[in-house]
Chain A
Amino acid sequence: MRHARAAQALPPIVRILLAVAVSIPLMVIDQRSHYLREIRSILSTVIYPIQYVASLPQKVGTGVGEFFTSHQVYQQENKKLRLKVLKLKAAQLKYDALLAENARLRALFKAAAKVADKALIAELIEVNLEPFTQKLLVDKGGRNGVFVGQAVIDANGIMGQITGISPSTSTVTLVTDPGHAIPVQVQRNGLRTVLFGTGATNKLSLPHLTATSDIKTGDVLITSGMAGRFPAGYPVARVESITSDANESFLEIVALPVARLNHSKEVLLIWPGSEATVSVKREDEK
C-alpha cells in the first residue's frame, strides 16, 4: 500500500520521461531485431478475445445472410461450381502429364526436381489493423506451423507475406504495403527487378528500371524466387502504365496486383517444396 502511494506521488513529468525512456528502446529493438517476436506472440494471445469480439458482428451478419439465402440461389451456385470443377479437372489432367514430363526431363538433365508447394487455407478475421498500412489478420498461427516470411496467395496470385505470428492468428503484410518489396521477373523475357508497395490499395511501383529496359504495359510480373523468401513462378502483378520522363533516368512504372487483395475471404499459406527432394509429391486437393 505504501509502495502504491509512493508511486502515485511521482509527478507526471517524471512519468512521461519514464514512458519515453522505455518506449524508444522498445521501438528500436522491435524494428532492428527479432528478440520481441516471442513476447509479442505470447501477448497477442491475450489480445485475441478483443479481436474476436470485434469480428463478431461481421460474422453474425454473414451467418444471417447465408441463412436467408434461398435454396434456389444455392442450387444455381452449386451447378456453376460443378461446371467449374469439371473444367479445372480437365485442365489438371494436362497439368499432371506436363508435371511428369517435366520431372523426367529434369532427371535426364540431372537437375533437382521441383516439388509442388504445400498449401493451407486460412480465413480472414475481419478486424482493423494499423491504419494506412496494408495488413490483414488470418486465423492460422504458430500452432498450424505458420512461420514469419511465409508467402500468402489467393487463387490469382501473390497477396503478401506473414510478418507476425501468435499461436492461433497471424498478420499478413500485403504486397501493397508501403514498406513491402518483392523480387520479381517479367514473365515474357525474364527481366529481373524489385516490385514495391505504395500504400494505395491497388497500386504497385517498379522504380528501378531504366528507359532502355524491355518492358511493356500488360506484362505479367512473377516471383523470381531471388532472396529465397517467395517461391518462384507465382504471378504478382500486371504492368498498368509506363511513363518515361526525359529528365529522369528511371521509368515510372505502375503495376496492379493480380491477387484480389480486398475481396478474398480465404487465403492460402504456402510451404515451398524443398528443392533437394527428388520425388515429386502432389498435395491432396482440399
Chain B
Amino acid sequence: MIGLGQQHRDRCRMVIAISFLLALILDVLPLPYWAEPFRPEWVSMVLIYWCMATPQTVNVGYGWLMGLIVDLMQGSLLGQNALAKSVIAFLAVTFHLRVRMFPLWQQSIFVVVLVLIGQAITIWVKGLTGGLYPTWMQWMPGLSSMILWPWLFVVLRDVRRLSRAK
C-alpha cells in the first residue's frame, strides 16, 4: 500500500514538473511583435492551478522557485518575479477551498486578480529600480490569462486525473 502511494506521489510530482517546464518554455517562446504584450502569464496560471489542486505539494516554495527561474530567464532583477509568484501562490493556497467551488468563469476572475497583483509587484519593483516604461499594455497579460484560464484548467485537470487513474 505504502509503495503504491509513493509511486502515485512520484507520478504526480513528475506531472507537476513537466507542466511547469512547458509553462516556462511558453513564457520565453518568441511571439510576433504585436502579440508580445498579450503573452499570458503561463507560469502564474500553472502555479495557481497546482496551488488549488494540491496545496500540500505546491505552494509558496514552488512559487518562489519558479519566479526565480523566470527572473534568470528574463534577465530581470533576481527576486522580482520570485516575490510576485510567491504572493500569487500564497493567495491561491489561502483561498483554494473557496475558489475550487466556483464555476469556471468566476475562477477566471480570481485568476485575473492574482495575475494583476503579481504584475503590480513587478511593476512596482521596476519603478523603484528605474527600469519602468509606463504603458497601459503592461496590464494586458492579465486579460489574456483570464481568457485562457478555462482551457488550461480543463487540460490540467484531465492530465491530473489520467496520471492518478493509471
| Contact surface of A with B, Cβ cutoff 8 Å | 8, 12-13, 15-16, 18-20, 22-24, 26-27, 30-31, 36, 40, 43-44, 46-47, 50-51, 53-55, 57-58, 126-133, 135, 137, 163-164, 171, 177-179, 198-200, 262
Whether B30 contacts A179 by the Cβ 8 Å rule is no
B29 touches A54 (CB 8 A): yes
| Residues A135 and B60 in contact in the complex (CB < 8 Å), given A55-B30, A127-B30 | no
| In the bound complex, CA of A130 to CA of B77 (Å) | 10
* Closest Cβ–Cβ distance, residue B87 to chain A (whole Å): 7
Q: Which residues of B contact A51 (CB under 8 A)?
A: 28, 73
The stretch that binds A, out of B31-39, B105-113, B147-155, B156-164, is B31-39
Q: Looking across the interface, which residue of chain B has its beta carbon closest to that of A18?
A: B60
Residues of chain B within 8 A of A13, CB atoms compared? 90
CB distance from B5 to the nearest CB of A (A): 13
CA gap between A200 and B64 in the complex, in Å: 30
Across the interface, which residues of B come within 8 angstroms of A132, CB to CB?
37, 133, 135, 137-138
CA–CA, A201 and B125, complex, Å: 22
Expressed in whole angstroms, the Cα–Cα distance for A58 and B28 within the complex equals: 12
Question: Range of interface residues on chain B?
Answer: 35 or more
Contacting residues, chain A, for B86 (C-beta < 8 A): 15-16, 19-20, 23
User: Contact check: which of B26, B75, B83, B87 meets A171 at CB < 8 Å?
Assistant: B75
Alpha-carbon distance between A191 and B59 when the two chains are bound, in angstroms = 56
Supplied contacts A50-B73, A131-B74, 11 more A-B pairs, CB within 8 Å: A15-B86, A19-B60, A19-B87, A20-B83, A23-B64, A23-B79, A27-B83, A27-B125, A31-B77, A128-B36, A200-B133
Within B127-144, which residues are at the interface with A (CB < 8 Å)?
A: 129-135, 137-138, 141
Chain A residue numbers with a CB within 8 Å of B80 are 23, 27
- Can you give 26 contacting A-B residue pairs, CB < 8 Å? A12-B60, A13-B90, A15-B59, A15-B90, A19-B61, A19-B87, A22-B64, A23-B82, A24-B83, A26-B82, A27-B77, A27-B79, A30-B77, A31-B129, A44-B72, A47-B69, A47-B72, A54-B25, A126-B30, A128-B27, A129-B28, A131-B36, A132-B37, A163-B75, A178-B130, A179-B131
Q: Out of B24, B64, B131, which one reaches A177, CB within 8 Å? A: B131
